[in-house]
Amino acid sequence: GIQVEQSPPDLILQEGANSTLRCNFSDSVNNLQWFHQNPWGQLINLFYIPSGTKQNGRLSATTVATERYSLLYISSSQTTDSGVYFCAGGLSGGYQKVTFGTGTKLQVIP
Amino acid sequence: GAVVSQHPSRVICKSGTSVKIECRSLDFQATTMFWYRQFPKQSLMLMATSNEGSKATYEQGVEKDKFLINHASLTLSTLTVTSAHPEDSSFYICSARPIPGTSGGSYEQYFGPGTRLTVT
């Protein structure tokens, strides 16, 4: 099956700083999402981005499908951005199941 | 829109008993729902794909007789952990994907808030 690696595994930021999270896939995917898992365990959808670039406020994401990676940018980080960020991807055939990445734990300090 | 609920949010049961977890898509219909399991400080692992009107598809290593899945309608899937043991204690999360053709070609999944199961 597809292997998904995320980097860095842990990240500590000063409030206001910018960061880039990366997601690498072992094989091509055409179904890719980014999530933020809050301290209560809820997964919040950030982006559905099988290719191209999208922006939503201080967050943006870029997927380069041909090179099998995706990036999540967080600008002007806030303490509420703390949590674990996951990417998940798969192929849009069959039941479109996805494989989750290893996660990046982000802590934003005041 | 695209809200998924899970019930219960937290359950404690004794070893040997069975526990049922419900997953509902509240404002959309889903022919396909997914069940994941997450251990502390780890990623989500797909357990099974739940298909409305047919048998679930289980991932390798997941015991189908222990984790019974029923997708009775386009808005409801249930996971029953049978004869639970302490090693089944975990965070169980479901997700749902809107029916193809109703979401602009997207395969986006929407997640429930999770159920924390503790088996004593």
pLDDT digits (tens, 9 = 90+) for A42-101: 999 999 999 999 999 999 999 999 999 999 999 999 999 999 999 999 886 666 789 999
Task: Determine whether the interchain pair A42/B111 forms a contact, defined as Cβ–Cβ distance below 8 Å.
Answer: yes
Per-residue pLDDT, averaged over A22-36, amounts to 94
Q: pLDDT per residue over A39-51, tens digit each?
A: 899 999 999 999 9
Say yes or no for a CB contact (<8 Å) between A100 and B45: yes
Residues 51-110 of A with CB under 8 A from B: 86, 88, 92, 95-103
Amino acid identity of residue A98, one-letter, is V
* B104: pLDDT strictly greater than 70: no
Whether B115 shows a pLDDT value over 90: the answer reads yes
- Mean pLDDT of the residues in chain B: 93
| CB neighbour class for A18 (10 Å; exposed up to 12, middle 13-18, buried from 19) | exposed
User: According to the model, what pLDDT value does residue B7 have?
Assistant: 98
CB–CB contact B46 A35 (8 Å): no
Nearest CA among A22, A41, A13 for reference residue A106 = A13
Q: What gap in Å lies between CA B35 and CA B67, rounded to an integer?
A: 10
The minimal CB distance from A96 to the residues B91, B107, B116 is found for: B107
A45 to B111: CB separation less than 8 angstroms, yes or no: yes
> What pairs with residue B12 in β-bridges?
B118
C-alpha to C-alpha distances, B41 to A17, A39, B12, B48, nearest whole angstrom: 25, 11, 21, 21
Could you tell me how many CB contacts below 8 A there are between chain A and chain B?
Answer: 51
For B110, the closest of A45, A88, A99 (CB atoms) is A45
Partner-chain residue, chosen from A33, A86, A97, that has the shortest CB–CB distance to B108: A33
How many separate helices (H) and strands (E) can be counted in chain B?
0, 11
Count other Cβ atoms within 10 Å, centred on residue A73. Answer: 15
Q: Which of A43, A48, A97 sits opposite B93 (nearest CB)?
A: A43
Go through B46-65 and write b for each residue having 16 or more CB atoms within 10 A of its CB, e for each that does not.
Answer: bbbbbbbeeebbbeeebeee
Looking at residue A97, what is its pLDDT? Answer: 86
Residues of A whose CB is below 8 A from B43: 86, 100-103
For chain B, which residues lie within 8 Å of any Cβ of chain A, measuring from their own Cβ?
2, 32, 34, 36, 38, 43-46, 49, 51, 57, 91, 93, 95, 97, 106-111, 113-114, 116
